[in-house]
Structure 1
Amino acid sequence: MMVGEMRAMIIKRMERMINRVSTENVEAGDICAVCGISDIKIGETIADKSIGKALPIIKVEEPTVKMSFSINTSPFVGREGKYVTSRNLRDRLYRELERNLAMRIEDGETADTFVVNGRGTLHITILIESMRREGYEFMVGPPKVISKRVDDKLLEPFEIATVEVPEDHMGPVVELLGKRRGQMLDMQGLGLEGTVLLKYIIPTRGVLGLRNAILTASRGTAILNTVFDSYGPWSGNINTRDQGSLVAFDDGMTTSYALHSAQERGQMFVSPGMEVYKGQIVGIHQRPGDLSLNVCKKKAATNVRSNKEQTVVLDAPLSYSLDDCIEYIQEDELVEVTPLSIRMCKNPKLVKRR
């Protein structure tokens, strides 16, 4: 028998096995589809009321982090996305509940805002990435922990963090974890050229933005892993970012002339020839507090003295991924998510209040 004939025969057999056939009885191990019940959820039991006995519902651990989703309100709205209205956003988020047991969706303060509760930032980030690939365009707020109040005591989630770091960089990592209210549980050597394994219990608030901070402190050599542990007493204030943001002063196209002077204030996110809008975050300020910059300023032609003066050297801009942007933003900042771009901006509602 030729290879092609054998392949065709196997495909026909698989098609017969995959095709749906009506049946009145199914047994353990069978794969079946039940139609006609629209509001059934994963873990529920379908049975006869007279003789049926419901099985225990699957218990899923409660969410620990929440983020706000809202429609895109930037000047670039509708340029790249296919679904941009609050109705599109609402339908997609509530449709996610049909297959995502650990996620919760709540209506926000306004009609175009929704609160998504998940098991950590990674859980919610996966949803954000899936939506942008499907053509959705929206804005996301900073992650916040979900606290509880039991017997008049405020509790917050804690996680177990394990860090593998070379002994040469252990000092800055230990100092960083201490600033974020982490408590050391164990420290041992791994026997791999001076590598140390650190085990901490740390509030989830302290974990937000910790990955990039540890990579910076260890010069990219540390490995961080975290897992939810339990709820514990509130740990007090935690400062997760010491630097402010560089914010675009006006709409326009960035120029080399403007960025050359702007990079003296900090690290930039944008390069020459990129279109920006007022309120967009274009860099990290080297000092605390935000600073507005005109990154679209053009050099007057009358000021040109020689070709040497026209040549400027720019530093390579920082390239932040979706995870990096979510870890970076603070209370008054948002991440603009579109199918082709990821930007950060100041929250216009909070800016107006100030």
Structure 2
Amino acid sequence: MDIRNIAIIAHVDHGKTTLVDKILHATKVFRENQETGDLIMDSNDLERERGITIFSKNAAVTYKDVKINVIDTPGHADFGGEVERVLKMADGVCLLVDAFEGPMPQTRFVLQKALQLNLRPIVIINKVDKPNCRPDEVHDAVFELFFNLDATEEQLDFPTYYGSGRNGWFNDSLTPCENINPLLDGILKHVPPPKVSEGTLQLQITSLDYSSFLGRIAVGRVSRGVIKENQPISLVQADGSIKKTRVKELYVFEGMGKKKVSEVIAGDLCAVVGIEGFNIGDTIADFENPEALPVISVDEPTMNMMFSINNSPFYGKDGKFVTSRHLRDRLMKETEKNLALRVVDSDGGDAFLVYGRGILHLGVLIETMRREGYELTVGQPQVIVKQIDGKKCEPYEVLVVDVPQEFASKVIDLVTRRKGEMLVMETKGEMQHLEFDIPSRGLIGLRTQMLTNTQGEAVMAHRFSEYKPWKGVIPGRNNGVLLAKENGSSTGYSLDKLQDRGSFFIDPGEEIYAGQIIGEHIKPGDLVVQITEGKKLTNMRASGSDAATNIAPKILLTLEECMEYIQHDECIEVTPNFIRMRKTILNEEERKKQAKSMKAEA
């Protein structure tokens, strides 16, 4: 049977998952009258809420008697670890580019990985129905990007398709057609069938699946040989050790699901059930003469955060899993399938240092854990510092901002204050396109300020570039915080009286504890306030003064915004129903003592 393996890669929001929807519909995976909704592949709750792809997924369709395995990949740089490993399963890539925005930082990152693996590219310029779109200029920009990434002659001769995923057409010219068949024909024509070398069985495990019924399932591509049901095999692990085991069941992808088969030939993707203790990157090889494939290498993490048990006065009120053993087991389970994540135990045993790709990468992990019923405390994100040639170095990123022209000066001012240097400034239609080189530390907390200063108009994207010498101190938050003085329930009376001191993160009637951050102070420096005071009632009433209090609504911060907001002496308490910010040391006297001793040491 003819097979094509393609991965769909693009910057975030350029239409990957919508394209996969159209491919599934065009190849009649669903019945005519079946209700499917949009973004079929984003099946996880978090993905649907945020409108982003987090985990790469597989689907398989049949078009003109050729089986096409489609791999949908995430677009955020924070999930680059997902993309890097699944590209190993593909022979060609569909690079999707927005007809207005053109190639963005993430496009560059993923394309570079694909070209290094020698995959055949097909360029799709999407959203040509948008106003202000410039498909011809974007085509030239994509060609330039290929050239800058040292593409081979063959890769530079890429076919280009134009269209609109939302309207359901793609063609090799700008004239609209009825469906996406020209694109599917192009995939059959330009993507080569899998290359199969002679020899014994080899299959590299590139992702994991889990079923409560079957346990852990290994997913990968058979690079040579044939794998059969009930066959004895060798599992070659990353450290070179070999385990002898047996395949229980085999599945291939079909439509959105899997189909059980008795054997899978080289070149196809499959899921293997019944192997114990495997990790991503391990090779399933011949029982007698095992030969390993090269281990998958993934870029290093650039950020870390301290995860510890929840030790606030509200400990255990909300979650099911609250002990350090629960926390450790869950984090270790995550490292099995999340290649870009690392976990290191700390001295006390109650806390773990978790290394990841960025704030979104770590934020999604915390959000997933709290939905599963975990309670934990997380500290401020820190960048990973290295000593290179005797110099202290930190990670730098390329930051790209598209913003209306009237806000460009504010953006430049914001970024340069955070030690960023401008590399490119050009006009794209009504927008100003800015590129900066900025330390990763400077990005923490930048998004919120950027959106405030540009009235929500700025579009930001960034990707890791390299380690460079330390840039010095970057100014943090300008204002201090308001802290609760004692445990209790906040009252409308107290909140009303304190409104001139700052803006609040809580509403009247919320349970709070001493040391909890309840608002932002109007000035620098922290302020401890009494928020649980009720109004003393008498039987005398003054006309007009007892009118209902006018309290401004509380400021709602998302988990990522809290992670960017807190400072080094603060942390976030995360439980299934609440996200609270607090001081690491809750007692005011203890905090003052520590501040004094730190000053004395300095």
TM-score, structure 1 normalization:
0.90
- The equivalent position to 2:468 in structure 1, one of 218, 232, 244, is 232
* Aligned equivalent of 1:11: none
Q: What pairs up with 1:8-27 in 2 under 5 angstroms? A: 18=258, 20=260, 27=266
Structure 2 counterpart of 1:198, one-letter code: L
Query: Counterparts of 1:58 and 1:201 in 2: how far apart (Å)?
Result: 29
- The equivalent position to 2:334 in structure 1, one of 80, 96, 104, is 96
Partner SS, residue 327 of structure 1: helix
Measured after TM superposition, the shift of residue 69 of structure 1 is: 0.5
Structure 1 counterpart of 2:576, one-letter code: P
The one-character-per-residue Cα deviations of 1:241-274 (angstroms, maximum 9, x if unpaired) are: 1111100011111111110122211111111111
* Aligned equivalent of 2:559: 322
Query: Counterparts of 2:260 and 2:500 in 1: how far apart (Å)?
Result: 66
> Structure 1 residues 158, 18: closer, same or farther in 2, change over 3 A?
closer
Query: Counterparts of 2:259 and 2:436 in 1: how far apart (Å)?
Result: 52
Q: What pairs up with 1:236-247 in 2 under 5 angstroms? A: 236-247=472-483
Structure 2 counterpart of 1:280, one-letter code: Q
Query: Counterparts of 2:299 and 2:539 in 1: how far apart (Å)?
Result: 64
> Structure 1 residues 345, 47: closer, same or farther in 2, change over 3 A?
same
Q: What pairs up with 1:107-122 in 2 under 5 angstroms? A: 107-122=345-360
* Aligned equivalent of 1:198: 434
- The equivalent position to 1:37 in structure 2, one of 273, 276, 280, is 276
Query: Counterparts of 1:329 and 1:200 in 2: how far apart (Å)?
Result: 25
The answer to whether the 8 A contact 1:158-1:201 is kept is yes
> Structure 1 residues 270, 32: closer, same or farther in 2, change over 3 A?
closer
The one-character-per-residue Cα deviations of 1:12-43 (angstroms, maximum 9, x if unpaired) are: xx8xx9565666x75431524153431x2111
> Does 2:512 align with 1:282?
no
Partner SS, residue 412 of structure 2: helix
Query: Counterparts of 2:366 and 2:269 in 1: how far apart (Å)?
Result: 34
Query: Counterparts of 2:497 and 2:289 in 1: how far apart (Å)?
Result: 78
The answer to whether the 8 A contact 1:187-1:198 is kept is yes
Measured after TM superposition, the shift of residue 304 of structure 1 is: 6.2
> Structure 1 residues 307, 318: closer, same or farther in 2, change over 3 A?
farther
* Aligned equivalent of 1:332: 569
Unaligned runs of 5+ in 2: 1-30, 35-253, 596-602
Q: What pairs up with 1:294-313 in 2 under 5 angstroms? A: 294-302=530-538, 305-306=541-542, 308-311=544-547, 312-313=549-550
Measured after TM superposition, the shift of residue 52 of structure 1 is: 3.0
The answer to whether the 8 A contact 1:304-1:310 is kept is no
Partner SS, residue 309 of structure 1: coil
> Does 2:449 align with 1:210?
no
Query: Counterparts of 2:336 and 2:268 in 1: how far apart (Å)?
Result: 23
The one-character-per-residue Cα deviations of 1:166-194 (angstroms, maximum 9, x if unpaired) are: 222222221110110000000111112xx
* Aligned equivalent of 2:372: 134
The answer to whether the 8 A contact 1:26-1:32 is kept is no
Query: Counterparts of 2:316 and 2:485 in 1: how far apart (Å)?
Result: 22
* Aligned equivalent of 2:124: none
* Aligned equivalent of 1:47: 285
Query: Counterparts of 2:400 and 2:521 in 1: how far apart (Å)?
Result: 30
* Aligned equivalent of 1:184: 422
Deviates more, 1:73-82 or 1:301-310: 301-310
Partner SS, residue 272 of structure 2: coil
- The equivalent position to 2:585 in structure 1, one of 337, 343, 348, is 348
Partner SS, residue 518 of structure 2: strand
* Aligned equivalent of 2:246: none
The one-character-per-residue Cα deviations of 1:309-335 (angstroms, maximum 9, x if unpaired) are: 222211121111111111100001111
> Structure 1 residues 18, 236: closer, same or farther in 2, change over 3 A?
closer
Query: Counterparts of 2:393 and 2:480 in 1: how far apart (Å)?
Result: 29
Structure 1 counterpart of 2:408, one-letter code: M
* Aligned equivalent of 2:504: 268
> Structure 1 residues 196, 32: closer, same or farther in 2, change over 3 A?
closer
The answer to whether the 8 A contact 1:139-1:334 is kept is yes
> Does 2:411 align with 1:161?
no
Structure 2 counterpart of 1:137, one-letter code: E
Partner SS, residue 302 of structure 1: coil
Query: Counterparts of 1:32 and 1:298 in 2: how far apart (Å)?
Result: 62
Query: Counterparts of 1:30 and 1:164 in 2: how far apart (Å)?
Result: 39
Partner SS, residue 283 of structure 2: coil
> Structure 1 residues 217, 303: closer, same or farther in 2, change over 3 A?
farther
> Structure 1 residues 246, 30: closer, same or farther in 2, change over 3 A?
closer
> Structure 1 residues 18, 170: closer, same or farther in 2, change over 3 A?
closer
Could you say which structure has the greater relative contact order, defined with CA pairs below 8 angstroms and 6 or more residues apart?
1
Partner SS, residue 451 of structure 2: helix
> Does 2:379 align with 1:124?
no
Query: Counterparts of 1:307 and 1:347 in 2: how far apart (Å)?
Result: 45
Partner SS, residue 295 of structure 2: coil
Measured after TM superposition, the shift of residue 219 of structure 1 is: 2.0
Unaligned runs of 5+ in 1: 8-13
Structure 2 counterpart of 1:234, one-letter code: W
Runs of 4+ off more than 6 Å: none
Structure 1 counterpart of 2:323, one-letter code: T
The answer to whether the 8 A contact 1:279-1:345 is kept is yes
Measured after TM superposition, the shift of residue 116 of structure 1 is: 0.6
Partner SS, residue 545 of structure 2: helix
Query: Counterparts of 1:21 and 1:74 in 2: how far apart (Å)?
Result: 52
Query: Counterparts of 1:98 and 1:174 in 2: how far apart (Å)?
Result: 41
Query: Counterparts of 2:525 and 2:540 in 1: how far apart (Å)?
Result: 34
Partner SS, residue 468 of structure 2: strand
Deviates more, 1:42-51 or 1:103-112: 42-51
Query: Counterparts of 1:46 and 1:32 in 2: how far apart (Å)?
Result: 12
